[in-house]
Amino acid sequence: MPNVSTAFEQLGANEQSVEGNLEVVDSHFDEVMAEIFVIDNLIDNDWRKPFVNYLENPI
């Protein structure tokens, strides 16, 4: 019978490294999402403007 290992073992990951990576990803995600959702003043060429317009007046 062949040696069957988990996906984590195949990737060389352990529980501590996975938890550490998730913390880094979470903090980066929070930063990025804060930048995206803080919409105080939109200029004409702001890429978020169509989304804001739709959210304000969905069709």
Quick: pLDDT tens for 9-56.
566 655 555 555 556 666 666 666 665 566 667 777 888 888 888 988
* In the predicted structure, residue 6 carries a pLDDT above the cut 70: no
Q: Give the pLDDT of residue 29.
A: 66
Tokens, residue 37: 């959702």
The reply to whether 2 falls in a domain is: no
pTM of the model: 0.33
Q: Give the pLDDT of residue 48.
A: 81
Q: Structural domain tally of the chain?
A: 1
The reply to whether 1 falls in a domain is: no
Q: Give the pLDDT of residue 1.
A: 45
Domain residues for the domain of 23 are 7-56
DSSP SS3 for 12: coil
The reply to whether 39 falls in a domain is: yes
The reply to whether 34 falls in a domain is: yes
Cα separation, 16 vs 20, whole angstroms: 6
More confident of the two residues 51 and 1:
51
**Could you tell me the CA-to-CA distances from 46 to 14, 17, 37, 42, 56 in Å, in that order?**
42, 38, 13, 6, 16
